[in-house]
Structure 1
Amino acid sequence: MANEPPKSSILLRGGTVLTHDKDDHVVVLRDTDVLIRNDIIEHVGENIDPPSSSTQVIDCKGKIVSPGFVDTHHHLWQTQLKGRHAEQGLVAYMYSGNMMSYAYKPEDTYWGQLSGCLEAIHAGTTTVLDHAHCVYTPDHATSALQATIDSGIRAVFGYTVATRMARWDQAQCVPEQDLVPEWAVQQLGDLLENHNNAASLVEIGMGFDLWFLPKDMVLGMFQTLRQKGLRLVTSHVARNAFMGLHSHVQLLQSYDLLRTPYPPSESSASMPYLLLSHCNGISHEDMSTLATTGTPISSTPGSESQMGMGFPVGLDPALKAQESAHVSLGVDCHTNDPSSILLQARMLLQLTRVQKNARIGAEGKYPSENVTGTSEEAFNLATIRGARCLGLGDAIGSIEAGKKADLVVFDAAGSVGMLSAIEYDPVVAIVRFSEAADIEHVIVNGVLRKRGGKLVATDISLDKKGPMEWKETAEQVRRSQRDIQQRIDGLSLQKARETLLGMYHTDTSRLVDAE
């Protein structure tokens, strides 16, 4: 049509392109081009001519072109708390991290969320499910959502009311009684109606962990919100002495909430689907239930290993139900682990091998030549299987014509760590030897968000600040961090611990020091 807007185009020329066949095996195409038009991969092949003189041609000789990585569980707002959870378990994290949105003003939430998104992009994440438990007020939600949009990342923003305190100082820590305030349900409904559409890079979802509330209340809320466009609800699930020894899976099954992910275009579903994070320690029966219902799981090996939640779900063939389970990877808390899905894939692969080898050793035997799990399996958890867990497998997660242009370009030839591994197997090179510093370009929805090894300037909408380079963004985060720390200094963490354990009805006799 004559008045159709001109198409922007990027040609990635002559790279080693990682594609997938119908069985999810990675097919390596060397000396191959990828043509991007606007937000779509238009063609993958050899010797593609630039469609116009304005096409941006990027020389990818000596580079690996990978699908963008998919992170299915993250709390992006927590950047200003980075480092303080490095030596903490789950209980300490809950009152010094999860509850600490109390010390954030909406502006702090913006900078924490924005920098969390940018750190993820820097490490090659192009899509993230954000369990955004930072919603203290409507303004906090608005700030976090706007920061996500400003970053340019593809996301499902899981709107989650924070664990709120009515009063918290050195003398007291009193929880707010209204767990699902009317303003939150109203705001979430408005966001769903006004924001979720085919053109939105950021979809509105929901985070929810309040399964002790009345069944009719929960299901009624979900049904109403589904009518407004809610597709995905994410929830923390694990079985242990702190989070509870009962079966969340059986409860959710009785509510008829366990189902296979469906895409945004699905209109007949009467309820949203659930993506369950962690699932450590649950029974084989519960795992089988998740597998047979197609319920997706996000495994976060870093935080789960550190915080005593149990062995990560993922690649262990000894857990037969996992073979058909929809498993993906998440970072969880970038306060104690970098925002690298590849790092999570690497940890899961090696932890799975430790577990299997330990079982063999306990039988008085020794593992022979082969090991459990492959780099290809780990790579797929980080790409196509992650996409499917979000119901987006037809749009992202692999490189093929017609899919969204979410791509990561590794400078393999210039990498110190990937030297020689790339010639052996580019998938092994990425999963086992790459670093964020090896990622030269990150493209999200056809737009370069990292170029030449550096994050591109971000258009900051807060106070209409306009384009901002990373160094200036980082300085804003440091300023915010100082302000937050001053507020934290006025809070009693011991009172917070007592309140938390009371809220969870924790049997404190079961809590022991890991040292």
Structure 2
Amino acid sequence: MATTRPSSSILLRGGTVLTHGDNDHVVPLRDTDLLVRDGLVADIGKNISPPNSDTEVIECKGKIISPGFVDTHHHLWQTQLKGRHAEQGLVAYMYSGNMMSYAYTPEDMYWGQLSGCLEAIHAGTTTVLDHAHCAYTPGHATSALNATLDSGIRAIFGYSIPMRMSRWDQSQCIPDPDLLPEWALSQLAELAEKHNNRPAATVEIGMGFDFWFLPQEIVLSIFGKLRESGLRLLTTHVGCNAFMGLQSPIPKFQSYSLLRTPYPPTDTAPAMPFLLLSHCNGLPQEDLSILASTGTPISSTPGTEAQMGMSYPVALEPTLKQSRTANVSLGVDCHSNDPSSIPQQARMLLQLTRVEKNAHILAEGKYPSRNVTGTSEEVFNLATIRGARCLGLEHEIGSIRPGKKADLLIFDAERSVGMLSAAEYDPVVAIVRFSEAADIENVIVDGAVRKKAGKLVATNCTRGVEEKRMVMEWSDVAEQVRRSQREIQHRIDGLSLEKARDMMLSAYHTDVSRLVDAAE
């Protein structure tokens, strides 16, 4: 993943370019050229000539050029935990996954985060909001941020302080009482001041926050000070259920004046960061209406929500879908149990929404006819332009237009097995319903090619032997992850997961009589 561009301009010649027209309608431009210059889309049209002899020309006949995908909720550090949570619900994941930054060293964090970013790029994600609940120590946070920068992905690094343990072994699991250590708030403020005032930066600092039980004056004081340091975005997990809480937090957020439409990095007026809510399953209709009317952004993660018992995803819920002011998007959440594929999340969203709608029709003794709920274009937009809108970045990314950042995907539809015929019928349907990560031939982020000819390009790593920078191929990164995974597993073997479960349920004041095993 080279940190310098091989040339200042790239010409994509003769492809089908997916542009956006009025009301976010996708307009395919066939046999069209696209010129990238200095990290921006410079021109779209027919028979564009290379501006100079150094221009890299990529032949795109039979290929689809799409905006890069925008992932608005992901925990990128969790690569070494992949596979562990495939058959787990939310409760089991929380103590065996969410809390496992305890078993990571800062170096483990680097390799987990780097490979998480690269997996996302491979699947076509060019921008990600990373809810990085991995800031166990200053070193862990620095390593995760360095890995994000090295990967070349565009990101909002949502610095988040996890539930930390003062001691955890086979005999006990004792939480650290200092939930918001001063070192973490100081580091977060310093990082925001450093990274959020650079117009050309590809990584912005945000914050992940879930400690809403703290007094209002403390919470708002923290947010206000961080806003002064340049913090623009907060993100939090939201849901109503017997584990996450049966009382909706939306009235609290409203009373804190945190529910509002996203604003761009250039807007210095707001006194508080804006709040992006992840999940939102189980919220009452009146609260969804509040979120829709205020334009408060939502990230829906269908795969995790379906598996972990959070109920149906809300992204295509009628209250949100029919509102002109609602801001809704898609996220992967945990690539420890789902691939880092936004099209796969879009696919699951469509089918889960259709199951829910059809179930109501069948329960009335009727049968659905004609068309079904949701369209490929709707979910494609959730993955692109609407995702950008949820991050306040609509004028920079999310669609292909001259002057916007060159965050682009090239799908090799001509040689794809799965996209055959679908691409000729409708390129949006082909991407949403039939594409795979292997069909993405090139990924361009900020004008730099990060995936070429179907393979991730080499990356400059800031960690490794004696902290030296080194250029590494994907196979080298993967080997470091495997080594790290073995070491993490050895540490996990020394921990009591049962003690962790008991501690967590006690800390969350969970009514254990409401917990049931879905496998029984």
User: What is the TM-score when the length of structure 1 is the normalising length?
Assistant: 0.98
- Residue 418 (structure 1) aligns with: 419
- Residue 64 (structure 1) aligns with: 64
User: What's the secondary structure of 2:166's corresponding residue?
Assistant: strand
Does the alignment pair 1:512 with 2:513?
no
Residue 369 of structure 1 and its aligned partner are, at CA, apart by 1.1
Instruction: Report matched runs for 1:21-420 at 5 Å.
Output: 21-196=21-196, 197-317=198-318, 324-420=325-421
Maintained 8 Å contact 1:287/1:321: no
Residue 322 of structure 1 and its aligned partner are, at CA, apart by 6.0
Counterparts of 2:255 and 2:337, CA distance in 1: 35
Maintained 8 Å contact 2:153/2:202: yes
User: What's the secondary structure of 1:23's corresponding residue?
Assistant: helix
- What does the per-residue CA deviation read over 1:115-167, in whole Å, with 9 as the maximum and x for residues that have no partner? 00000000000000000000000000000000000000000000001110000
Kindly provide the amino acid, as one letter, of the partner of residue 473 in structure 1. Answer: V
Residue 319 of structure 1 and its aligned partner are, at CA, apart by 6.4
User: What's the secondary structure of 2:213's corresponding residue?
Assistant: coil
4+ residue stretches of structure 1 with deviation over 4 A?
318-324
Residue 211 of structure 1 and its aligned partner are, at CA, apart by 0.4
- Residue 8 (structure 1) aligns with: 8
- What does the per-residue CA deviation read over 1:17-63, in whole Å, with 9 as the maximum and x for residues that have no partner? 10000210000100001100011000011100000010000000000
Residue 303 of structure 1 and its aligned partner are, at CA, apart by 0.2
Counterparts of 2:271 and 2:22, CA distance in 1: 30
Maintained 8 Å contact 1:122/1:442: yes
Counterparts of 1:71 and 1:297, CA distance in 2: 12
Counterparts of 1:434 and 1:493, CA distance in 2: 39
Residue 464 of structure 1 and its aligned partner are, at CA, apart by 2.0
Counterparts of 1:251 and 1:234, CA distance in 2: 15
Kindly provide the amino acid, as one letter, of the partner of residue 427 in structure 2. Answer: P
User: What's the secondary structure of 1:15's corresponding residue?
Assistant: strand
- Residue 478 (structure 1) aligns with: 482
Counterparts of 2:504 and 2:308, CA distance in 1: 16
Counterparts of 1:148 and 1:130, CA distance in 2: 9
Residue 426 of structure 1 and its aligned partner are, at CA, apart by 0.5
- 1:500 corresponds to which of 494, 499, 504: 504
Counterparts of 2:379 and 2:508, CA distance in 1: 34
Maintained 8 Å contact 1:315/1:322: no
Kindly provide the amino acid, as one letter, of the partner of residue 482 in structure 1. Answer: R
Residue 465 of structure 1 and its aligned partner are, at CA, apart by 3.7
Kindly provide the amino acid, as one letter, of the partner of residue 228 in structure 2. Answer: Q
Residue 317 of structure 1 and its aligned partner are, at CA, apart by 2.8
User: What's the secondary structure of 1:502's corresponding residue?
Assistant: helix
Gaps of 5+ in 2: none
Does the alignment pair 1:464 with 2:468?
yes
Counterparts of 1:37 and 1:318, CA distance in 2: 41
Counterparts of 1:6 and 1:414, CA distance in 2: 26
Counterparts of 1:490 and 1:155, CA distance in 2: 34
Counterparts of 1:6 and 1:115, CA distance in 2: 23
Counterparts of 2:187 and 2:299, CA distance in 1: 27
- What does the per-residue CA deviation read over 1:299-356, in whole Å, with 9 as the maximum and x for residues that have no partner? 0000000000111011133766666421100000000000000100010011111111
- What does the per-residue CA deviation read over 1:180-211, in whole Å, with 9 as the maximum and x for residues that have no partner? 00000100011111111212110000000000
User: What is the TM-score when the length of structure 2 is the normalising length?
Assistant: 0.97
Maintained 8 Å contact 1:117/1:148: yes
Counterparts of 1:35 and 1:81, CA distance in 2: 40
Maintained 8 Å contact 1:67/1:397: yes
Maintained 8 Å contact 2:7/2:56: no
Distance 1:321 1:413, change over 3 A: closer
Maintained 8 Å contact 1:287/1:322: no
> How many corresponding residue pairs?
511
Distance 1:322 1:113, change over 3 A: farther
Counterparts of 1:513 and 1:90, CA distance in 2: 11
Counterparts of 1:433 and 1:323, CA distance in 2: 29
Distance 1:58 1:177, change over 3 A: same
Counterparts of 1:134 and 1:471, CA distance in 2: 25
- What does the per-residue CA deviation read over 1:410-433, in whole Å, with 9 as the maximum and x for residues that have no partner? 000000000000111000000000
- Residue 446 (structure 1) aligns with: 447
Gaps of 5+ in 1: none
Kindly provide the amino acid, as one letter, of the partner of residue 238 in structure 2. Answer: V
Identity of aligned residues (%): 73
Distance 1:62 1:321, change over 3 A: closer
Kindly provide the amino acid, as one letter, of the partner of residue 280 in structure 1. Answer: N
Maintained 8 Å contact 2:289/2:320: no
Counterparts of 1:440 and 1:145, CA distance in 2: 27
Structure 1, 460-469 or 415-424: larger mean CA deviation? 460-469
